[in-house]
Amino acid sequence: MSVTFPIQAIKLTPGSQITISNLSWQDFEQILIDLGEKRNSRVTYYRGTLEIMSPLARPDRPHRIIADIVKAILDIQGRDWEDFGSTTLKRPPLAGIEPDTCFYIENAQRVQGCTRLDLKQYPPPDLAIEADVTSKTTLEAYEAIGVPEVWIYENQQLKIYLLCDQSYTETVNSRIFPELSLTEIIPQLVPKAIDLGTSKMLRDLRTSLPSRLS
């Protein structure tokens, strides 16, 4: 005998996740509707498997700090960017994912005026940022969607993944910021922002960074 219950009835403790198998793309779309937009959980779908994750409940989440660092570096370099936050990225019928944060940088001009992201019309984001991700499904979903660069910050370490031949390779060098050792810089800046304040960290970064870029 099978038992059914509303998806909204699932209650996850911070930092936990559940996995549901054998779901169609239509099931995934309906679950997104049922969960609604005003929720703390995030979802990842890849080839019939759905993961629902509850972020860790702590202030100053690293992904928000890292996003501020990315914006500061791009502004110092005089480069355009668009921050699409945790918008749902979909590549039906294979994959759907909600990044912690995602950016358009090389393709920033192409998404100007975009209010509803449709990957049939627009390219995937140039960069996705995740914090405290332990699931292999996450990278598989990003591969299917075609995000060129993914950063995962976990245990005070930054891992950079570059898409090459439809699969990710871990590297120490960012394709977006090749002149910076981000795997060293960001793990230093995130705890500094938490301890001293993000605004102070960013002011210090804007003062010191130009010398690293020259």
Which tokens hold the place of 176? 């977006």
User: Are the C-beta atoms of 126 and 99 separated by less than 8 Å?
Assistant: no
User: Are the C-beta atoms of 174 and 161 separated by less than 8 Å?
Assistant: no
What is the model's pTM? Answer: 0.90
Asked whether residue 78 is domain-assigned, the answer is: yes
Asked whether residue 28 is domain-assigned, the answer is: no
Asked whether residue 184 is domain-assigned, the answer is: yes
The parent domain of residue 135 ranges over 58-208
Q: Is 80 exceeded by the pLDDT of residue 212?
A: no
Asked whether residue 148 is domain-assigned, the answer is: yes
User: Are the C-beta atoms of 127 and 173 separated by less than 8 Å?
Assistant: no
Asked whether residue 204 is domain-assigned, the answer is: yes
pLDDT of residue 22: 93
Give pLDDT tens digits for 50-99. 998 876 655 458 999 999 999 999 999 999 999 999 999 999 999 999 99
Asked whether residue 74 is domain-assigned, the answer is: yes
Domains: count for the chain: 1
Whole-Å CA distances, 69 to 84, 89, 166: 15, 23, 28
